[in-house]
Amino acid sequence: MNDDMTGSVTRRQFLTRSAMAAGAMVAPCIIPASALGRGGAVAPSERIVMGGIGLGGRGSYDLGWILTRKEVQWVAVCDLLKSRREAAKHLVDGKYGNKDCAVYGDLRQFLAERTDVEAVLIATGDRWHALASVWAMRAGKDVYCEKPACLTMAQGQMVLETARRYGRVYQTGAQRLSEPHHVFAIEMARSGRLGPIHTAYADIRWRDGRLHDWLPAEPEPPRDELDWDLWIGPCPWRPYNKGYVTGGGWYHYYDFATDVAMWGAHSVAQCLAGLDMDNVSFIEFEYAGPDATLVTRLSNGVKLVLFRVAGSVWEPCQYWHGACGERFDGPEGWAAAADGYSRPDVSSPALLRDYNKVLADYTARTGRSLNHMLDFFDCIRSRRPAVANADVMVQSMNICLAADICEQLKRPLKFDLRRGEFVGAPDANRLRSRAMRVPYTA
């Protein structure tokens, strides 16, 4: 064999090929900066993959905002109404410039098939909030669910137990717990700047869920346009009438809705956030007649006023001048907030001097965003409880639903907050749950 030969390859050929291979190994590989999370982009591996269940009304608003967030990739929409799911798909596809958004009419199929979805927005009608949340968490999804989170105390407990068992992040849509003006009022109470709080006021002006009859039957639409049985879900079966479906007509019927909890799901949670509830064991409801303001007393002596006023929810009252307000009264003054405020209301302008400091102290202490949905996204990554987690939801909803039961029975009641039951009132305790229609059960 010639000394210049190595098998059938010359030394020169071997060295040339080796040099080419080495060059290929060190040559730059061009990867888009967006794929690495540079230039303000979020790397695909870091994005939260989301889908939505119920995307009309509030759901479409939430979806539109979420689509502005780079840290989220929206992949699927689910809605009972064909027109709504098509509209939602159009919105998503328009955002991403493709036709990739999947469409579902049945949340069971959606949850079973989309194992890639990490988190879901649930913005169905109230009747589906609790059950959809439970099914989603069992399917391994974190949940952002619009309020009110449940129709009954039993449903709320079901959501809480599921979140704990499956280790899921759950956020109920009491978004004012994350809005600056409300956070300021809450922190003024919580931090002691107003002195020991003796009275808190929660806006419960909305009146719905009181009608116990139902609308006359009309011909059902084609099932691919609306699956009526699925629309009713766990509620008692009622004949189809478009009045339920259009314009939120279902709001008025006890079968599908609540009364105090409709608005109180926000404002009661806001009040509780400013009060020291750690040592509160029970709450007493002082029934004062139909449509009257409902005065309650916590076991620590604080008076919680569930305030009603005649007229529109936007009509001014003596405690706030917008909707969904809360107010805290202490010996050093009072603070209040509601929707549409340019700044919180306070008893003295001096209380506003530390506005920015109060908010800065809150964010430093809690590490939370002053944006409710961003708090949810942060908690998905960190796996810590959200600001309006299932425990927060159950405590506030139990008070709202106890108030509903007080008004149904038309008498004072005492509710044990730790045991989740009325004291010495078996008829009231029977109203803590409603039968759930098969197959729409937990």
Same structural domain, 146 and 292: no
| Helix-helix angle 126-138:153-166, to 10 degrees | 20
- For the residues 289-309, what does the mean pLDDT come to? 91
Same structural domain, 303 and 352: yes
| CB proximity list for 206: less than 8 A, separation 6 or greater | 259, 262, 263, 313
Same structural domain, 61 and 158: yes
Same structural domain, 303 and 272: yes
| CB proximity list for 427: less than 8 A, separation 6 or greater | 409
Is residue 321, in this structure, part of any structural domain at all?
Answer: yes
pLDDT at 24 over 80: no
- For the residues 132-160, what does the mean pLDDT come to? 98
Is residue 2, in this structure, part of any structural domain at all?
Answer: no
The count of domains in the chain is 3
Question: How much of the chain, in percent, has pLDDT values that exceed 90?
Answer: 80
More confident residue, 377 or 37: 377
Question: How much of the chain, in percent, has pLDDT values that exceed 70?
Answer: 88
- For the residues 390-407, what does the mean pLDDT come to? 97
- For the residues 370-386, what does the mean pLDDT come to? 98
Same structural domain, 182 and 168: no
Q: What is the pTM of this model?
A: 0.89
Question: Could you read off the pLDDT of 192-250 as tens digits, one per residue?
Answer: 999 999 999 999 976 677 899 999 999 999 999 999 999 999 999 999 999 999 988 99
* End position of a domain, from candidates 152, 172, 192: 172
pLDDT at 12 over 60: no
Same structural domain, 137 and 282: no
Is residue 57, in this structure, part of any structural domain at all?
Answer: yes
Instruction: For residue 263, name the pLDDT band (cuts at 50, 70, 90).
Output: confident
CB atoms within 10 A of CB 249: 14
Q: Could you give the CA distance from residue 213 to residue 290 in angstroms, rounded to a whole number?
A: 19
Same structural domain, 159 and 104: yes
Q: What is the CATH number of the domain that holds 66?
A: 3.40.50.720
Same structural domain, 133 and 186: no
- For the residues 396-420, what does the mean pLDDT come to? 97
Is residue 96, in this structure, part of any structural domain at all?
Answer: yes
Residue 310, pLDDT score: 61
Residue 32, pLDDT score: 52
pLDDT at 14 over 70: no
* End position of a domain, from candidates 222, 251, 280: 251
Is residue 378, in this structure, part of any structural domain at all?
Answer: no
- For the residues 305-327, what does the mean pLDDT come to? 79
Is residue 373, in this structure, part of any structural domain at all?
Answer: no
- For the residues 13-22, what does the mean pLDDT come to? 46
Q: Could you give the CA distance from residue 113 to residue 121 in angstroms, rounded to a whole number?
A: 17
CB of 236 closer than 8 Å to CB of 247: no
Q: Could you give the CA distance from residue 29 to residue 35 in angstroms, rounded to a whole number?
A: 13
Instruction: For residue 314, name the pLDDT band (cuts at 50, 70, 90).
Output: low
| CB proximity list for 74: less than 8 A, separation 6 or greater | 50, 51, 52, 63, 66, 67, 92, 95, 96, 101
Same structural domain, 270 and 332: yes
Residue 315, pLDDT score: 65
More confident residue, 341 or 98: 98
Residue 21, pLDDT score: 45
Same structural domain, 293 and 415: yes
Most confidently predicted of 28-37, 135-144, 257-266, 286-295: 135-144
* Lowest-pLDDT range of 40-49, 127-136, 370-379: 40-49
Q: What is the CATH number of the domain that holds 203?
A: 3.30.360.10
Same structural domain, 65 and 183: no
- For the residues 395-405, what does the mean pLDDT come to? 97
Residue 39, pLDDT score: 54
Torsion sign, CA atoms 419, 422, 427, 433: negative
The parent domain of residue 245 ranges over: 213-251
Average pLDDT, the chain: 90
Question: Could you read off the pLDDT of 38-95 as tens digits, one per residue?
Answer: 555 677 778 999 999 999 999 999 999 999 999 999 999 999 999 999 999 999 999 9
Residue 43, pLDDT score: 76
Is residue 441, in this structure, part of any structural domain at all?
Answer: no
User: In angstroms, how far is the first alpha carbon of the chain from the final one?
Assistant: 81
Same structural domain, 243 and 362: no
Is residue 67, in this structure, part of any structural domain at all?
Answer: yes
* End position of a domain, from candidates 226, 251, 276: 251
CB of 89 closer than 8 Å to CB of 55: no
pLDDT at 267 over 80: yes
- Asked if the bond preceding 219 is cis, omega within 30° of 0, the reply is no
Residue 207, pLDDT score: 67
